[in-house]
Structure 1
């Protein structure tokens, strides 16, 4: 391991990733949520907003699996971090639930605490108040049941080949033998279309290809929840769309549970089936949106454009205007 790389920010993050408590978990695959979870009516809770048409009974019968249980529970979570000058409140009393096979999106402007919230769910940050639980168990630190794909391209150790990068966490967690780990690595590299680059090194790959390796590595761990922190934000528009399409194709194949952070309304509508809207700093819940009806084919349509405009108003208008907009949408 080169000393100069260890001293870099990427090296610190990579070492953190590999030195996590990669404990073994029993993974059960759940299917697309069968029904919308009940809305909490606590004081100050956001109204549920439905964007687009609700799925018909026939559509749900096709999409839904035998059950969809609550997997993640975030209850009144407030988060803080220390800047050079002071302690900053990132989120304030945020609550939401994520169900099995959800594609749940955290959406909000820069500085609303969405990435900080994702890091807390990953176990990197401890809430100052509130609780985070996974399958009924409190989250007390990082674990192999939650794997993060970061925005940065340089999250792959450069001295390992593509296949070795994907297989290494499996070996570190003592999940599989060397041969079994390579076999699984090749399986997921095939899923993301990179079989031909299994023996290549990261410096020979484009940014989009590096992100596909990172996604393959995360999926190979078979986590209970895949956490993605603006993974496509730095890509050009064409590559970004292709990566969104590939992610949705992978989800359609495996029906994993996804928690996805973005500040793009269009990306949130396409990638997510449920979206949590967070207010500007500090992040508070503005509304929750059903977005299952949208896909890339919807982009450019009148309904899609109207939904983008409505979400923009919910995010950036004053509290009174946003609450009025939420009430109109909920009554539709």
Structure 2
């Protein structure tokens, strides 16, 4: 079963990479995007990109990092495109390089091979056009109030006047349901509330791409589901472009409209699939569960086959030695 590494030159909500002998996860193409018009924030410019080409282009990217003993390859020859208003998910087992890839897109790591381009311009370092929400709760300076945490990067990176930065910060705090806590300090908030502040801070920057690195992984199951629902509601309002990292197949299917599957270390592209047909309402559907099982097979098939082949080779060698 192989991956077809072709790219399309025009935007389409359906996956561009499929698998030999297997149709991509699909539904009604129109279901990928609704008909609502995004509501504008103060000074807001819609982030929806032109349909003529990708907003973010990852082309043959290989990444490495140095351990104490050696240089480790995290990803190998990874390629994919993200279009304006995509909810694009990087899904793979632990250690497949998906978080490392997100950091490279953010500009924190330089690829050893391939290119990363945003709006046709090569990414050469961090910038306010890409904002990251990390997994850790403690992303907020504890000496600043909630509204100050959201407004501060606006003043530094966007160089907005104090009043304008505060107005935009309050707008996005209202979006995530935390306007009543604007003057609170981070230590008074729950983990889920801290993540909502981090999301508000990221959206207030109005980045070209919002990068989220397993942002809900440390939350309990109920809070995690609520945060997923809130993220999708925010996307429905704002239609921002999202690149989301997770190792949860169910979360990938619910949050994303397109999913890139990465193999075990080093991360290579296994497939690109459509997931816009699924939602939280689908969790108990037979079709949803079947696709969870199918994706699990795609993610771990190569690894399991390799182990089975190795075991078969060991048995053959033992038998040969016994009859020698």
Highest CA radius of gyration, 1 or 2? Answer: 2
Q: SS where residue 55 of structure 2 aligns?
A: strand
Pick from 74, 77, 96 the counterpart of residue 61 of structure 2.
77
Q: 2:40 aligns to what?
A: none
Structure 1 position 127, deviation (Å): 0.1
Q: Does 1:293 align with 2:262?
A: no
Q: 2:45 aligns to what?
A: none
Q: 2:131 aligns to what?
A: 147
Indicate how the Cα distance of structure 1 residues 106 and 66 shifts in structure 2: closer, same or farther if over 3 A, else same. Answer: closer
Structure 1 position 202, deviation (Å): 0.3
Q: Does 1:204 align with 2:184?
A: no
Structure 1 position 52, deviation (Å): 3.7
Moved over 3 A (4+): 36-40, 45-49, 58-67, 319-322
- C-alpha distance in 1, partners of 2:32/2:229? 21
Pick from 27, 39, 58 the counterpart of residue 53 of structure 1.
27
Q: SS where residue 70 of structure 1 aligns?
A: coil
Q: Does 1:253 align with 2:253?
A: no
- C-alpha distance in 2, partners of 1:59/1:260? 17
| Post-superposition CA distance 1:251-310 (Å, at most 9, x none) | 000000000000000000000000000000000000000000000000010000000000
Q: Does 1:187 align with 2:171?
A: yes
- The two structures, once aligned, show a CA RMSD in angstroms of 2.4
Structure 1 position 175, deviation (Å): 3.1
- C-alpha distance in 1, partners of 2:95/2:268? 11
Q: Does 1:93 align with 2:77?
A: yes
Indicate how the Cα distance of structure 1 residues 277 and 38 shifts in structure 2: closer, same or farther if over 3 A, else same. Answer: closer
Tell me if structure 1 keeps the 8 A contact 2:264–2:303. no
Indicate how the Cα distance of structure 1 residues 284 and 46 shifts in structure 2: closer, same or farther if over 3 A, else same. Answer: farther
- C-alpha distance in 2, partners of 1:36/1:101? 10
Q: Does 1:122 align with 2:106?
A: yes
Q: 1:28 aligns to what?
A: none
TM-score (norm 1): 0.81
- C-alpha distance in 2, partners of 1:262/1:196? 30
Number of aligned positions between the proteins: 285
Indicate how the Cα distance of structure 1 residues 66 and 146 shifts in structure 2: closer, same or farther if over 3 A, else same. Answer: closer
- C-alpha distance in 1, partners of 2:212/2:278? 20
| Post-superposition CA distance 1:195-241 (Å, at most 9, x none) | 11100000000000000000000000000000000000000000000
Q: SS where residue 271 of structure 2 aligns?
A: strand
TM-score (norm 2): 0.83
Q: Does 1:138 align with 2:122?
A: yes
Indicate how the Cα distance of structure 1 residues 60 and 140 shifts in structure 2: closer, same or farther if over 3 A, else same. Answer: closer
Q: Does 1:317 align with 2:301?
A: yes
Indicate how the Cα distance of structure 1 residues 278 and 172 shifts in structure 2: closer, same or farther if over 3 A, else same. Answer: same
